Amino acid sequence: PSPLPLYFLGFLFAFLEALRMVAAGALLADLLPKEALARARGQLGAFYAAADALSDLAAGLLFTRSRPWTVGLGSGLLFLAAGLYRALPLPPRSSVRPEGGSLLGLRFLWESPSLRPLLLQEALLGLAYAFFAGLLPFVVLRGLGEASWVLGLLGAVQSLGGALGGLLVGAVLGRLGEGGTLRLALGLAGLGLLGTALLPPWPLLAGLTFLLGAGGALFGAVAGAVRLSQAPPELRGRVAGGFLFLSGALAPLGPLLGGALAGVALPLPFLLAGGLLLALASWAGRGWR
């Protein structure tokens, strides 16, 4: 059969997921105070990572036994999620309706003296993640000469690191504050990338992948909470959408740039990305509590 319907459904699902992420992020910021927002984002990220890993396994097992059951169960869970969202205590709609879409949210982030550095740091972290994701198969299968199952294991370890990092957001924030947590997160991610440049054996690479996942989850939870809590309520959806647009626009650049650098030397993109994140860690969150 023609794959065109599957392409259309994949596009539609990605489109709806982007809408859900924007709306859910803005709604969470409306329902929770700033001091609880980062912890809640971390916990949700941890559950999301665990559910994503389990759903891949469950979907593969179910699909081999009954394709209609796979589609039916997935559709039912989507409708259940929609009903649960509708059951939340939705805040009253703001009477202020600023004109403009997600680009208005990006402009707000860029024009804010405190949020502009955070926006750049998070964009660079996302680019570094794209480096890693695009080049990891080449590192494992060609650079280390390992079997394909090692690549799957590393993906699971990275998700595990992200889940643990999300669960620890509240504890780390309580000890280090926002600035210290951001510096720790960038430091962990930078160490994970720098260690990968050494092309270590896969057990050590799994530990580095875990650090990268934990650092990314910590940074994303805190940075997202700061970003949304400083935006006025009528702009939160646009701010969330603008950042998602920026992340999507930068995502293809990671594999392209990483591949070009790896053509010179395989460790080069990891050295550059890891060194840059460690340099950013030294001044991230300066002046914050």
| 122 three-state secondary structure | helix
Is residue 98 assigned to a domain?
A: no
Q: How far is CA 220 from CA 8, 71, 165, in A?
A: 30, 32, 10
Per the structure, the count of domains in the chain is: 1
Among the listed residues 207, 196, 199, 165, the one whose alpha carbon sits nearest the alpha carbon of residue 182 = 165
Residue identified by tokens 């993640």 is 129
Average pLDDT over residues 89-96: 67
pLDDT tens-digit profile of 102-123? Answer: 678 788 888 888 788 888 888 8
191-215 residues labelled b (16+ CB within 10 A) or e (exposed): bbbbbbbeeeebeebbebbbbbbbb
| 88 three-state secondary structure | coil
Is 90 exceeded by the pLDDT of residue 170? no
Is 70 exceeded by the pLDDT of residue 60? no
d(C-alpha 2, C-alpha 266), whole Å: 38
Average pLDDT over residues 179-200: 91
Is residue 24 assigned to a domain?
A: no
pLDDT value, residue 230: 85
pLDDT value, residue 25: 81
pLDDT value, residue 187: 93
Is 80 exceeded by the pLDDT of residue 223? yes
d(C-alpha 145, C-alpha 157), whole Å: 19
Is residue 207 assigned to a domain?
A: yes
Cβ-based burial of 134 (10 A; exposed 0-12, middle 13-18, buried ≥19): buried
Min mean pLDDT across 145-149, 212-216, 245-249 is at: 245-249
What residue type is 263 in one-letter code? G
Average pLDDT over residues 209-229: 89
| 99 three-state secondary structure | coil
Give the chain's mean pLDDT: 83
pLDDT tens-digit profile of 267-286? Answer: 898 999 899 899 888 877 66
pTM over 0.95: no
Q: How far is CA 28 from CA 129, 174, 279, in A?
A: 25, 20, 32
pLDDT tens-digit profile of 6-29? Answer: 888 888 888 888 888 888 888 888
Do the Cβ atoms of 237 and 26 come closer than 8 Å? yes
Is residue 162 assigned to a domain?
A: yes
19 compared with 200, residue with greater pLDDT: 200
| Domain containing residue 125: CATH number | 1.20.1250.20
Is residue 4 assigned to a domain?
A: no
Is residue 39 assigned to a domain?
A: no
Is residue 233 assigned to a domain?
A: yes
Do the Cβ atoms of 45 and 221 come closer than 8 Å? yes
pLDDT value, residue 238: 83
Q: 193: pLDDT confidence band, cut at 50, 70 and 90?
A: very high
pLDDT value, residue 252: 78
pLDDT value, residue 189: 93
Q: What residue numbers bound the domain in which 276 lies?
A: 103-288
Is residue 216 assigned to a domain?
A: yes
